[in-house]
Chains A and B, each alone.
Chain A
Amino acid sequence: MSKRSNSPGRQFALLSLLAVGMFGFAFALVPLYEIFCEITGLNGRTSGEAASVAQIAEISDREVTIQFTAQVFRGMPWEFRPTENQMRVRVGEVNTTEYYARNRASGMVTGQAVPSVSPGHAAQYLHKVECFCFTQQHLEGDAEIDMPVQFYVDPDLPEDIGTLSLSYTMYRVPDAEVVVPEAAASMPADHEGHYQP
């Protein structure tokens, strides 16, 4: 290498580039982590997309227990709970359960449910055919709703898993991020959301 290419200026540039690269790497950790979670089921993330029923190979005689739980996140004025706490299901069979939600506030509030499955490595074996968590849910003041979840347990579920828990956390969607449903598009904006500390 020539002396010039090894100059302090060049090294400075290279090392700065490395630093900038590491800054970028911090952001690259986000998708890397997501891929990692999807592979390992870390944190019980489930797929955000609907599974197709056609994927099921066959319904087996094996039965597992599936438990349903629910929480609302701070600032969400909804009552939100499963309508049944647990179910015995046959592996591979499509089942439906419902979650109940009621808006305590007087104006429309939009919610987004975030699912989590426990044990974490079971997440990839619980397929949701239909779920209220796929989209935002809009509830008028004092309105209530039963929201269905249609799911099946993958026949490949490891033998050591006998109980799965499906948990939803209901978040309030900030007004700015609400995707207005078409039917409600003509309605006045929600004035209840202006919470000031």
Chain B
Amino acid sequence: MTRSYRRVSMLFGRFCSIVLVTFGFAQAALAQALDMREGVTEVSQRVQSLHHLSLGVCIVVGIVVFGAMFYTMYSHRRSRHPTPAKFHESTPVEIIWTIIPTLILVGMAIPATITLIDIEDNSDPDLTVLVTASQWKWHYQYVEADIGFFSNLSTPQDAINNLVDKDENYILEVDNPLVIPTNQKVRFLMTSGDVIHSWWVPDFAVKQDAIPGFINEAWTRVDVPGIYRGQCTELCGMNHAYMPVVVEVLPEEEFLTWIEDQRVAAALAGEQAIADRSRTWTMEELMPIGEEVYIAQCATCHLPDGVGQGIRYPALAGSEIVNGPVEAHIERVLNGVVDTEMQAWAPQLSDRDIAAVITYERNSFGNDTGDIVQPLAVFESR
């Protein structure tokens, strides 16, 4: 019974889509631009059908109600209809227009309920990814495979400031996308390390809040390989707009290769870190790396020239920490500041990058300490 109903409602949804596309707008392409995204999962397609169903109902009801209104406004205007009628009450009519909408609502609630029950079925995943949000980046941890990485916006600051042209993935591109396999049920556990964020990929119809101290669940199963983009959808502070979600869906075999590659890369990074801290770096080596890291990670708050933005994002130029003892500066960068947007960078950046950015900060913006911070010093402070 529910199955056949579901089929009927899906069909009506499809029918509405066809009507919308054919009659509503001149061009199918235009209709698509105005439509909810179809997406690439069964759920997203069912959600789109539901959208079409409810939109179709609204359009039909709208045509009836507004049609009646415009008809009466035209034909019962005073110049055509000088004597108003006297009626002003009718209980049968009131009952009719209470019951009919109720029935229409029930007709919409049934497919919505069936779809919702399926969406909320998080059981038996093939793969679990822990998504941890923080201002303003995502961290993905593959629970079974035990690999994890941060995913940062990769659009250059110059594009945001209109100094260079914006390409089609403007502010929807990241350094490390989440990678998942096709045809597998991927379960997402969402949480946050600071404020509430919300992880959204429109093409999967997955949107779930990431709440500090709690975990939420969502899942998807994608059949079509590709790159899918979304954004954070809960206001999470200054750079809420600059917190994209990018998911790369790979065929299963390629995904396994990718996992292997990640393991190898992690091992190589470990070796590189040992090599980095076993030698002494020069100012000339560290400064360009530091500048790069600073622009990518620090400049959104402290600004590219280190002048900061008021008390919440203090200036680094002339700062007591930056010009004070090196150890305190390293600890500040490694561990962050409680109850502020200054986060702990220890899990996010390598010893070399932290050493470089501290060296850069201590020798830029008018700061002139002459200190060269070695990766080894950072390693020892960790």
Contacts and interface: CB of A to CB of B under 8 A. Distances in A.
* A and B co-occur in one complex: yes
Interface of A: 43-44, 67, 69, 71-77, 79, 85-86, 104-106, 114, 116-119, 160-163, 165, 167, 169, 171-172, 174, 195-197
Contacts of B334: 77, 104
Given A85-B144, A169-B212, A162 B344 contact: no
5 contacts: A71-B132, A71-B193, A74-B194, A165-B128, A195-B339
Interface in B334-357: 334-340, 342-344, 346-347
Given A119-B122, A197-B337, A72 B215 contact: no
Nearest to B313: A197
Contact of A165 (B134, B215, B382): B215
Interface of B: 122-125, 128, 130, 132, 134, 141, 143-144, 146, 187, 189, 191, 193-194, 211-217, 311-312, 314, 327, 331, 334-340, 342-344, 346-347, 381-382
A85 B189 CA distance: 14
A171 B124 CA distance: 31
A44 B335 CA distance: 29
B144 A86 contact: yes
The secondary-structure label for the interface of chain B is: loop
A67 B194 CA distance: 23
B213 A116 contact: yes
Contact of B338 (A79, A119, A161, A172): A172
A44 B214 CA distance: 7
Given A69-B143, A167-B189, A162 B214 contact: no
Contacts of A75: 335-340, 344
A118 B124 CA distance: 13
Nearest to B133: A71
A74 B335 CA distance: 9
A197 B341 CA distance: 10
Contacts of A104: 331, 334-335, 346, 381-382
Contact of A163 (B125, B212, B338): B125
A161 B123 contact: yes
B189 A69 contact: yes
Contact of A77 (B212, B312, B335): B335
B243 to A, nearest CB: 15
